[in-house]
Structure 1
Amino acid sequence: MKIIQFLLSVLAAVCASGMLYKSIVVYSPLRSVSIAITSLLTVGSVLLVVLTFIELKRSISL
């Protein structure tokens, strides 16, 4: 179950990174707001990957 959770968090981080790239590249009148929101989403998903990796590593070492 922890492996599935880790894989899903990696997938969420990849999707969030793609959304951040898209918000940087595409011109929009609210570009700075969309970059700020997707940056927060990307940072949160990367933190989720780190936390799930730590949990996975901890459960494997037991």
Structure 2
Amino acid sequence: MADLLQRARTLISRASAIGGATQWEASLLNAYLVAVENNDRDKADRLFRQLEELLEQRAEAKRRG
């Protein structure tokens, strides 16, 4: 479980680095935390990958201007 919580911290840091999370990203992060709380690792993994991709796309768009 500690690794799953560390992943949440990583996502929050990434979102902060690009100006904060969008409402959609915040909703996905909340769903991720609920999955962690419910010990649903498969769902947590899927949500993590989805959030990671969204944040990377926004970071790339920000770098491009």
TM-score normalised by length of structure 2: 0.50
Q: What's the CA shift for 1:55?
A: 1.0
In angstroms, what is the RMSD of aligned CA positions? 2.5
Query: Which structure has more RCO (C-alpha within 8 Å, separation ≥ 6)?
Result: 1
Q: Flag the structure with higher helix content.
A: 1
Is 1:39 the equivalent of 2:41?
no
Q: What's the CA shift for 1:18?
A: 1.3
Moved over 3 A (4+): 26-29
Structure 2 unaligned spans of 5+: 1-17
- Equivalenced residues, count: 44
Contact in 2 for aligned 1:16/1:41 (Cα 8 Å): no
Q: Which residue of 1 aligns with 2:61?
A: 52
Q: What's the CA shift for 1:39?
A: 0.2
